[in-house]
Amino acid sequence: MIIGVGLFMNLGYEADWGKLVIYQLIAGIGTGMNFEGPLLSLQAAIEVKDIATATTTFGFMRTISTAISVVVGGVMFQNEMRRRSAQLVAVLGPELAGQVSGGEAAANSEFINSLPSAQRLVVRKAMYQSLRAMWIMYLAILGAGIIAGAFIAVHPLSEERKAAVLGLTDARGDEGEDLARSSGHVLLEERPGAGS
């Protein structure tokens, strides 16, 4: 993933479909490896009874992190485009530059493509430089993640099957449900005096 994001900085402002496809494949493969691996590592490190809670918390944290990443990346792109607004005003004029400065640039791709080639080139360079700054930020975050990953303890996957005990315990300390370990099915146990 870090290689793919690093390669995005090399895309340039001219369309190069070969680079774009290859770089996206590399980044996609790296991103895909981060879907199940961390979850399996988390589940290997906790008790069986806590797997549901840990899995849900993991999914929640991933969703929150994605939302924060989108917002921070978008704000960084907008700020970088605003920094280049003087350059855009000099080439496009204040009215046209207002349509491509800040966050409006990404939303006005058809407008950018309709500009004369000299003006379009200036806008694309500004967008490329803004995206490049965003990719550098993501690269730094990924680098910090790799460094943090070196400090994670090793927890091998268990080779024995552990069943979760479901239900409440009664006054005698017996489980309300007995798990059949051989078949994996939950058997309900009739208790003396239960239901009468």
**Same domain? 26 vs 112:** yes
Q: Are 32 and 85 in a shared domain?
A: yes
Contacts of 196 (CB under 8 A, 6+ apart): none
Neighbours of 194 (CB within 10 A): 9
Q: Are residues 183 and 130 in the same domain?
A: no
182 and 135 part of one domain? no
Total domain count, the chain: 2
Give the per-residue pLDDT at 43: 87
40 contacts: CB under 8 Å, gap ≥ 6 = 157
Structure tokens at 50: 């806590």
Low-confidence ranges of the chain (pLDDT < 70): 103, 164-196
Does residue 149 sit in the same domain as residue 180? no
- Domain limits at 149? 2-160
State whether 30 and 54 are in the same domain: yes
Q: What is the pLDDT of residues 127-144, one digit of tens each?
A: 889 989 999 999 999 999
Domain co-membership, 191 together with 114: no
Residues 152 and 187 in one domain: no
